[in-house]
Amino acid sequence: MRPSILRRLLRRVAPTAALALVAAMLGTTGAAPPAAAAGGLQQVTGFGSNPGNLQMYEYAPASLPANAPLVVALHGCTQTANDYYTDSGWPKYADLWGFAVVFPQTTAANNALSCFGWFDPAEDGRGRGEAASIVQMVEYAKQQYGSDGRRVYVTGLSAGGGMTADLLAAYPDVFAGGSVASGLPAQCATSQAGASGCQTGPQKLTPAQWGDKVRASYPGYAGPWPRVAIWQGSADYTVYPANATALRDQWTDVWGIGQTPSVTDSLPGDTTRSVYDDASGNPAVVTYSVSGMGHGLAVSPGSGAEQCGTTAAYFLNAICSTYHTGVFWGLDRDVPGGGEQLPAPSGLQVTDVAADRVSLSWDAVAGADSYAVHRNGAEVATTAGTTYTDTGLTAGTAYRYTVTAVDGSGTPGTASPQVTATTTGGAPARCFTATNYAQVAAGRAHTTGGHVYANGSDQDMGLYNVFVTHTLRESPAGYFVITDTGCAA
């Protein structure tokens, strides 16, 4: 191959991918081939003018009712639509909860490593390139399935995660929610030269500056904004964890809420979930940090209700991120078959709290066969009565509860308004004032790219040196937030 042609091709990929591209040209590896329709995955042609030169694949369960949700799932570099269909777990919950899934696919014709162009202004902006092609797929699927335009969601891994963030910013009127897995903040890079810097450590911008990148993607738009889930492995050295912090800062700022979580709790797979509620007390942004996980999408193979996916390259065994993302979006509250939902139970209240338990009660719903109790978004119990005591809890910890009525066929109704209960006891909060260097040395913070971040909250504390001092408040144990203005122990 002539050097001039090689240089042109190398400019089509992010700088970190250049060596892999050279290897591919030498025959040591290869770009991913187009996906073949497998099982229930079907290719669609003629979905629009397709300015981004993408391929469209889709999956829908049999007898999909009208007004069901629609999910768009974007693969990562070197992957295909079929990989994401096979390994991510989305078909399982499409069948279980009743919604269609669109799997866009890019190829080596667009990018030598089959990466979506999250860093290319010609591809990731409103009305442009790949982003416009994906929205054309959404419009086609909405017409084909009669999907509810108010419940369209997008999710993606790595480069697909970067494109997901860009889509949420450019098309907040199309997508009600998103989930970025091992991905990048919206408009983190606007050139291929800037892509590598984003991956290893995005710019040190304030939340308002990150939020401005979203607001500039669709000038004049005033909301409502998408609800955003952010998944990140703590040992990801391809897309560094600082990107999850930047994503958190970006979308909490867009929502007009602070960067201190409303509640933090633990999930399977050594996963820490931090929830940032909107002004109404509903989760607007949620971060999921998977301890020790590298670069990929978290899956948890198995047949359990909260298990999904298949382990493979960039599909890593930890926790079923697809299940928790779907619950965050409310997909589990939809009715397969289109039947009429039971109404939400009224009167949900906390009747008793102790160090290890919370007791709840609610009003009966006509036609209910049982009730499902959800703690922090995950179902923890079903009961025939209108009371429940949740046991085995951690002292001094906040828990969020909702209840749904379930009919005789097992179909859940609408979730009740949320209540929050904090168990008694637990260690009192502690405060520590020290230099950034000393905070890291004491194990209360960590460094990434020359900056220091508080353990747990991942709040940016500034440069790693002895000249910057902060006060950190610890509560619960191991979770630190910046409290320079005052720290009530």
Note whether 397 and 422 are within 8 A (CB): yes
Residues 6+ apart with CB under 8 A from 351: 359, 360, 361, 387
Element (H, E) at 381: strand 378-383
81 phi and psi, to 5 degrees?
A: -60, -40
Number of H helices, E strands in the chain: 12, 25
Written as six digits, the tokens of 218 are: 């669709």
Note whether 275 and 261 are within 8 A (CB): yes
Note whether 183 and 208 are within 8 A (CB): no
Separation between Cα atoms, residue 245 and residue 401, nearest integer Å: 26
Give strand pairing partners of 290. Answer: 233, 271
State whether residue 322 is helix, strand or coil: helix
Separation between Cα atoms, residue 266 and residue 179, nearest integer Å: 19
Specify burial of residue 301 (Cβ count, 10 A radius: 0-12, 13-18, 19+): middle
State whether residue 209 is helix, strand or coil: helix
Note whether 481 and 471 are within 8 A (CB): no
Q: For residue 61, what is the DSSP state?
A: -
Active-site residue set: 158
Written as six digits, the tokens of 183 are: 């991905």
